[in-house]
Amino acid sequence: MTFTLDGAIILDVEVTPNSSRQGIVEFNEWRQRLVIAVKAPALKGKANTAVLHVLRTQCHLKSHQLSIVSGHLQRQKKIRIEEAQPTNLLDMLKKILEVDDSEG
């Protein structure tokens, strides 16, 4: 997670398209990226739309707060999140990942 001069948050993510499940899966320590699995294929922007949907629903954000700023055609992407409190977002991601860890 990095920050822009205008107060936005840049989140590094790695996408797993065509997955059997959909959601925030883990934090990859080695790559320092959040891993997001989506059921959508990496075709015509469907996986990108699904990634934004996952972040929006699981982190309780609004559509206008999220945009992909790089990696549109790659698995590794940078997502811009506007109008969000970094501590609240970090706490929410930690809770999501704790729930995932306890399930598996």
Q: How many domains does the chain have?
A: 1
Alpha helix (H) ranges present in 19-85?
46-58
DSSP 31: T
Of the pLDDT bands very low, low, confident and very high (cuts 50, 70, 90), residue 101 is: low
pLDDT tens-place string over residues 36-82: 999 999 999 999 999 999 999 999 999 999 999 999 999 999 999 99
Query: Domain containing 91 — which CATH number?
Result: 3.30.1200.10
Instruction: Examine residue 8 and state whether it is found in any structural domain, yes or no.
Output: yes
pLDDT value, residue 99:
72
Range of the domain at 39: 2-97
Q: Which two tokens stand for residue 56?
A: 């929006």
Percent of the chain with pLDDT over 90: 92
Within a domain: 102 = no
